[in-house]
Structure 1
Amino acid sequence: MKYSLLVGSVLAMMVSGSAWANADLAKAKNCMACHAVDNKVVGPAFKDVAKKYASDKTAEAKLVQKVLKGGSGVWGAVAMPPNAQVSDAEAKTLVKWVLSLK
């Protein structure tokens, strides 16, 4: 019983740690200058993005490209600029994190 609780606690910490790590990556890459997790800033809230794309099987690939190259028109007139400081791997990590938010 104690072993199961210990394993469960460690797994929970690992999962929450990766969530924090991805939030830290979003801050480090300036995503939080225009976005927040729960509310619209300049761009949409990350939770709203996750909700909008929840049933879209192609969302991850589309959003990775949007992070890297920028885009406009999906969330209004304000354009999202390209993010040259974000690598392909970082973009994929960020998008997976955003899509996992509930």
Structure 2
Amino acid sequence: MKKAIFLLSLFFVSSAHAIAPADLAKAKNCFACHATDKKLIGPSYKDVAAKYKGDASAVGKLADKIKKGGSGAWGTMPMPPNAVSEAEAKDLAKWVLSIK
């Protein structure tokens, strides 16, 4: 019986995986305003990554901005708050910062 429970728990743990950040960005409609390599309504992800390169607090700053929105960092157009969890916001921020 213990072995069966153990095997079932392994199945559920291995089949439950997080959505990839690029897919999450698509699902949350981030690409309506941002592109990887060119400015749309908001800055390109490459430009964001370049601006925050070497900033140890960048993940937290970007995750906060993703979650709460903001304005002024890239012009006058405000970024609206996004309906994401804290973990999703951090995953998105890490992904954006990884784009070269």
CA distance in 2, matches of 1:69, 1:25: 17
CA distance in 1, matches of 2:61, 2:51: 13
Work out the number of aligned pairs and report it.
82
More helix by share: 1
Q: Which residue of 1 aligns with 2:86?
A: 88
TM-score, with length taken from structure 2: 0.78
**1:45 matched to 2:7:** no
Alignment map for 1:26-45 (pairs within 5 Å): 26-45=25-44
Identity, in percent, stands at 65
Q: CA RMSD in A?
A: 1.2
Cα offset, 1:21, TM superposition:
2.5
Poorly superposed stretches of 4+, deviation over 3 Å: none
TM-score, with length taken from structure 1: 0.77
**1:99 matched to 2:90:** no
- Match for 2:73: what amino acid? V
Gaps of 5+ in 1: 1-19
Cα offset, 1:55, TM superposition:
1.4
Gaps of 5+ in 2: 1-18
